[in-house]
C-alpha cells in the first residue's frame, strides 16, 4: 500500500505572491507495495528514486551468486537498489567482483555450507526474497546431482518458508523431465532427471515459488559460447520479483528463435576464424575418450558425458509464460554473438583488409 504524507513547501513571494505555502502529496512506497507482509521496521521502507544508491524495499538472498547467471542477477538487483546477501563457500575473494553491483554496504557476503541449516537460516534471516541458482554441470566427489539439484533445493525452499520469505525463485531446466531419452547414458541424463525432481521438491516445500526453466544461456563468461571457443534472464528474474502476479508461476526462459545446434557451432567457429574445425561424430572411441577425460580431470573436465547426452535432447516448450510476458525485450542470437566472441577471435588484433576474411552466414532459425 502507498502511505500518503503531506509536506509544506516554501514558495518565493517573487514567484507566487498570493501563496505563502502549498502542500503536496508524496507517495512513499515500501516493501508492502510489492509484497503482502506489513513491515513496522523503518529500515524496510523504500528510500531514494531508484538506482544503486537507493533502496527498493527488497532484501534478497542469492544462492549461487558467484556463477555466470548469478552475477547477472546480482547486478540487475543491485541496479534497482536491492540489498543483497550472497552466501558463498570457500574463499570470499572469489566474490569480491560482486561488490561493484551495489552501493557501499548494499551487498553482504555470508559463509555457508549446503548441509548446514543454521548457516542457511542466517543467510536469509532478514530477506523477503530468496533466489536459488545453485547447480553444477558435472558431479564432484563431494556433491552428486541429487545433492545439488534436489536435496539442496528442497532444503533451501523449506527453510525459506519457515523463515517467512515472501518470494522464492528457483531455476530448473527447459528440458527437465522424469524420463530423459537414452542417448549416451543408460536411463538418460541424470542432470535433466534431477532438475525435474527439484521442481517437484520446491513446489512441495514452497507452493508459491517462481520457477524459471531456461534453455542454454549465453553471454560474457558463460559455459555455452566459451565452451566451444544473460542479461535477459536476469532482467526477467527482477521483473518476476516485482510482479505480484508472478507468484506460483513457472516461466520458460527461451529466446525468440530456435536453431539447430550444429548450425550454431558452425557459425561460432566461423566468427572465431577457425578454418580447420571438424565435426566430431559420436563414435564408441569418442565416448570412451569423454569418459576417460571425466575420470582423469574430475575438477574441471573439458567434456562431460552427461552434457553430451543433454545436448542431444531437443528443446521443447510447454507454452508456459515466457520472458516476454515479464516485459523483457529479447535479442536475436546472431545480433549479440559477434560481440561476445570478439575477445576469442583468431587474429583478433590483426587489422585485416576489406574482404580478407569471409564473413560467416548466420544460422537460419527453425520455422515452428
Is it the case that residue 34 has pLDDT exceeding 60? no
| Higher-confidence position of 47 and 250 | 250
Per-residue cell: 114:
549446503
C-alpha cell, 100? 561493484
Give the number of other Cβ atoms within 10 Å of residue 129's Cβ: 27
Burial classification of residue 271, based on how many CB atoms lie within 10 Å of its CB (0-12 exposed, 13-18 middle, 19 or more buried): buried
* DSSP E strand boundaries for 152-197: 167-171
Q: How confident is the model at residue 155 (pLDDT cuts 50, 70, 90)?
A: very high
Confidence of residue 27 (pLDDT cuts 50, 70, 90): very low
Average of per-residue pLDDT across 339-348: 83
When pLDDT is averaged across residues 236-254 and rounded to a whole number, the result is 91
pLDDT tens, residue by residue, 60-73: 999 999 888 888 89
What's the pLDDT band for 41 if we cut at 50, 70, 90? Answer: low
Percent of the chain at pLDDT > 70 equals: 83
For the chain, how far is it from start to end, CA to CA, in angstroms? 44
At 18 the pLDDT is: 39
pLDDT greater than 60 at residue 58:
yes
> What is the rounded average pLDDT of the residues 293-318?
85
DSSP of 100-139, one letter per residue? GGSSTTTEEEEE--TT-HHHHHHHTTT-SEEEE----SS-
Full set of structural domains in the chain with CATH: 1-368 (3.40.50.720)
- Mean confidence (pLDDT) of the chain: 81
Q: What is the structure's pLDDT at 212?
A: 93
- Calculate mean pLDDT across residues 306-333: 87
* pLDDT higher than 70, residue 289: yes
Whole-number pLDDT of residue 368 = 57
Contact 31, 46 (CB under 8 A): yes
| 24 has pLDDT over 60 | no
Task: Return the minimum-mean-pLDDT range out of 20-34, 70-84, 114-128, 229-243.
Answer: 20-34
Give backbone dihedrals phi and psi of 53, rounded to 5 degrees, phi first: -90, 0
Q: What is the mean pLDDT of residues 242-246?
A: 91
Angle between helices 333-341 and 261-271 (to 10 degrees): 40
Confidence of residue 128 (pLDDT cuts 50, 70, 90): very high
- pLDDT higher at 125 or 299: 125
Amino acid at each position: 500500500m502507498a502511505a500518503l504524507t503531506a509536506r509544506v513547501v516554501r514558495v518565493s513571494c517573487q514567484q507566487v505572491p498570493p501563496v505563502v505555502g502549498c502542500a503536496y502529496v508524496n507517495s512513499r512506497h515500501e516493501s508492502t507495495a510489492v509484497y503482502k507482509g506489513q513491515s513496522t521496521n523503518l529500515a524496510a521502507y523504500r528510500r531514494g528514486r531508484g538506482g544503486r544508491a537507493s533502496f527498493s524495499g527488497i532484501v534478497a538472498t542469492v544462492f549461487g551468486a558467484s556463477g555466470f547467471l548469478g552475477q547477472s542477477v546480482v547486478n540487475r538487483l543491485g541496479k534497482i537498489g536491492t540489498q543483497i546477501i550472497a552466501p558463498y563457500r570457500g574463499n570470499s575473494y572469489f566474490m569480491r567482483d560482486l561488490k561493484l553491483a551495489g552501493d557501499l554496504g548494499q551487498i553482504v557476503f555470508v559463509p555457508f555450507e549446503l548441509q548446514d541449516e543454521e548457516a542457511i537460516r542466517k543467510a536469509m534471516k532478514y530477506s523477503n526474497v530468496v533466489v536459488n541458482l545453485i547447480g553444477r554441470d558435472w558431479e564432484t566427489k563431494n556433491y552428486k546431482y541429487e545433492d545439488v539439484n534436489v536435496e539442496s533445493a528442497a532444503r533451501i525452499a523449506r527453510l525459506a518458508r519457515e523463515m517467512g520469505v515472501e518470494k522464492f525463485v528457483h531455476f530448473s531446466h527447459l528440458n527437465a523431465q522424469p524420463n530423459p531419452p537414452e542417448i549416451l547414458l543408460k536411463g538418460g541424463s541424470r542432470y535433466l532427471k534431477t532438475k525435474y525432481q527439484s521442481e517437484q521438491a520446491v513446489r512441495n516445500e514452497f507452493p508459491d515459488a517462481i520457477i524459471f526453466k531456461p534453455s542454454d544461456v549465453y553471454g560474457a563468461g558463460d559455459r555455452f559460447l566459451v565452451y566451444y571457443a544473460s542479461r535477459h534472464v536476469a532482467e526477467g528474474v527482477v521483473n518476476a520479483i516485482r510482479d505480484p502476479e508472478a507468484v506460483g508461476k513457472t516461466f520458460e526462459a527461451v529466446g525468440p528463435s530456435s536453431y539447430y545446434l550444429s548450425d550454431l557451432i558452425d557459425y561460432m567457429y566461423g566468427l572465431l576464424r577457425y578454418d580447420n574445425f571438424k565435426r566430431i561424430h559420436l563414435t564408441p572411441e569418442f565416448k570412451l575418450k569423454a569418459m576417460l577425460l571425466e575420470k582423469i580431470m574430475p575438477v574441471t573436465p573439458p567434456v562431460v558425458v552427461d552434457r553430451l547426452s543433454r545436448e542431444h535432447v531437443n528443446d521443447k516448450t510447454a507454452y508456459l509464460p515466457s520472458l516476454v510476458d515479464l516485459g523483457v525485450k529479447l535479442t536475436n542470437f546472431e545480433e549479440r554473438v559477434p560481440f561476445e566472441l570478439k575477445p576469442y577471435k583468431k587474429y583478433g588484433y590483426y587489422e585485416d583488409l576489406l574482404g580478407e576474411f569471409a564473413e560467416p552466414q548466420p544460422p537460419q532459425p527453425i520455422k515452428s
